[in-house]
Amino acid sequence: MVGPERPQFVLFGSSIIQFSYSNEGWGALLAHIYARKADIVLRGYSGWNSRRAVQILDQVFPKVSSFCHQQGDLNQSSLSLKNLRADAAKQPSLVIVYFGGNDSIEPHATGLGPHVPLSEYIENVRKIAIHLKSLSEKTRVIFLTTPPVSDEQIRAHLSDRIDMVRTNESCRIYSEACLEVCREMNLKAIDLWTATQQIDNWETVCLTDGVHFSPEGSKIAVKEILRVIKEANWEPSLHWKAMPTEFSEDSPYDPGVKSKSSMNNAVAVGICKLITTVENVVRIGKACLIGGTILFFMGS
């Protein structure tokens, strides 16, 4: 075990999640932004669909209450109410979910493949949401919709698997279905299908192979995630600026900084406010030397 304990943000989904730490991915960017504030935990499974996700929910996101019911009456269980409360405290503060791209691939003639019918996909999204919300009162959930794909790049990269068809139109249909379920359940959702296509030449700028994000595509995902977190009426707030910093700058473990911390923090706040006013720009990892201390600033 490593301490101190921090809030956990879990990224749960298929390859868009699994690859989010590579190629300047959005998961790595989030880990950088939330350094000393929250742990970004990766649970990505390339090639998976929502059907497979539902099958393993209890393994990836276990609940003590489920274990107790399996073992018998909760009152007779060796687990006390204190244990249950401790378990709830260890549940993730935020889960970001992405499934749908593989589901949207057209059905294969053999009946095999990752395709999931739209009606089943909708029910699977509901099941995932219900399970995650039941983990604890503090657990928040954000769904990412299916991003757009480049039909031309897919044909070029998957010419030997042309029978596994994924189109931008099918992604739109599954994206809208995810958004509709989230509206019905009062859940946060990010429309990556629309946001990505706002960029000029998005097919080549935002995607590497017609499906997965380039560094520029990842910046769009991060910008949208931070926007939703910032605008959410969550208590406590999970936006990086609102979360406490582990061993903050005025900590006694940082000799020589305490006397200058008030000035440095005031300047840092002012600069961060200035940075966040710049429209349509995501600045990650910009550094500024103030009073001999290197400070890092990220866009909101």
Please confirm, yes or no, whether 209 is among the known catalytic residues.
Answer: yes
* Mean pLDDT (whole number) for 53-63: 97
pLDDT at 166: 87
- Average pLDDT (101-120) is 92
Report helix angle 26-33 to 215-231, nearest 10: 50
Q: Minimum mean pLDDT among 65-79, 131-145, 258-272: which range?
A: 258-272
Q: Which two tokens stand for residue 296?
A: 């890092």
pLDDT (tens digit per residue) in 3-43: 888 999 999 999 999 999 998 999 999 999 999 999 999 99
Mean pLDDT, residues 76-94: 66
pLDDT of the residue at 78: 53
Amino acid letter for position 113? G
**Matching residue, tokens 């929910």:** 57
Helix (H) or strand (E) holding 296: strand 293-297
pLDDT for position 39? 97
Over residues 184-203, the pLDDT tens digits come to: 999 999 999 999 999 999 99
Query: H-helix or E-strand containing 124?
Result: helix 118-133
What's the Rg (C-alpha) of the chain?
21
> Residue 150: what pLDDT?
95
Q: To the nearest whole number, what is the mean pLDDT of the chain?
A: 82
pLDDT for 90: 85
286-290 vs 293-297, strand pairing mode:
antiparallel
Lowest mean pLDDT among 219-228, 242-251, 285-294: 285-294
Q: What is residue 248's predicted lDDT score, i.e. its pLDDT?
A: 74
14 catalytic? Reply is: yes
Q: Identify the CA nearest to 212 among candidates 21, 32, 49, 41.
A: 21
Predicted pLDDT at 65:
57
Please state the pTM of the whole predicted model: 0.80
pLDDT score, position 111: 82
Average pLDDT of the segment spanning 54-66? 88
Q: How many CB atoms within 10 Å of residue 172?
A: 18
| Residue 257 in this model has a pLDDT that exceeds 90 | no
Domains and CATH numbers, the chain: 8-231 (3.40.50.1110), 258-297 (no CATH)
Using pLDDT thresholds of 50, 70 and 90, give the confidence band for residue 292: very low
Residue of 212, 214, 218, 300 with catalytic role: 212
For a pLDDT cut of 90, what percent of the chain falls above it? 63
Rounded to whole angstroms, the maximal C-alpha distance in the chain is 70
Confidence of residue 266 (pLDDT cuts 50, 70, 90): very low
Confidence of residue 251 (pLDDT cuts 50, 70, 90): low
The pLDDT of 287-291, averaged and rounded, is 41
Q: Respond yes or no: is residue 157 known to be catalytic.
A: no
The 8-class DSSP code of residue 142 comes to: E
Residues 6+ apart with CB under 8 A from 184: none
Of these residues, 32, 209, 250, 261, which one is catalytic? 209
